[in-house]
Amino acid sequence: MSLIVSVFLSLIASAVMGVAVLRDFEHNTEAILFSTPMKKFDYLMGRFWGSFVILLFIGSAIWIALIVGDIMWWRDKDKLMPIHLWNYVQPFFIFVVPNLFFSGALLFMSGTLSRKSIVIYTQGILLLVLYLASLSLLRDLEQKNIASLIDPFGIRSFSYATQYWTPSEKNSMLVPLEGFVLYNRLLWIGVGVLAL
């Protein structure tokens, strides 16, 4: 669930990350900021990390909502396993944080370089095209490795890592950060760092 919701959070990332610098240029406050001894790099990284922390606060609502949903009184407690905080936080750190970093860095880069909001909001199309390309590659059994790497959100690498798990394993085990899940996460964090 965390992984699927993180894809939708990339749309929120455009509103939080993409316009962080754009607002300064729209309201002509960048001239005031750059008249101080502050360097452009410090300004941009301050804007990026400040916006990214806000985005992480928004994203943390995923695992908080899942915990609250599991402790509701209408849930049959006899059929549920005990609640362990790590079972909610681990997918957040493996899937949600890298997805938000990657999409946030791309949107921040496009907002900084283009200074146009239309560019920021149309960047989701590029992510959608990458995702659809990984889906078409996944249909060919020999290309599962490539498909799990080029999926920017990690859904294909998650599916590839858990394809032979039994329903009992899917309900009780966490996806380890190894193999193609690790390679996918490192690749797309690297793309985010490159964008910055």
> Could you tell me if 59 and 92 are in contact, meaning their C-beta atoms sit under 8 angstroms apart?
yes
- Which phi and psi (to 5°) does residue 100 adopt? -70, -40
Residue 105 corresponds to which tokens in the numbers above?
């860095």
Nearest Cα to Cα of residue 17 among 58, 54, 42: 54
Nearest Cα to Cα of residue 174 among 80, 70, 91, 100: 91
How do residues 7-21 score in pLDDT, each as one tens digit? 778 778 877 887 777
Residue 122 corresponds to which tokens in the numbers above?
């149309």
pTM for this prediction: 0.84
Residues 35/40/44/45 CA torsion (nearest 10 deg): -120
* 59 vs 14 pLDDT, higher one: 59
How do residues 85-129 score in pLDDT, each as one tens digit? 888 888 899 999 999 999 889 888 888 887 777 777 777 677 767
Task: Tell me the pLDDT band of 138, cut-offs 50, 70 and 90.
Answer: low
Cβ-Cβ contacts under 8 Å for 38 (sequence gap 6 or more): none
pLDDT of amino acid 139: 64
pLDDT at 32 over 80: no
pLDDT of amino acid 7: 79
> What is the C-alpha to C-alpha distance for residues 191 and 185, in angstroms, rounded to an integer?
10
Nearest Cα to Cα of residue 176 among 99, 86, 102, 104: 86
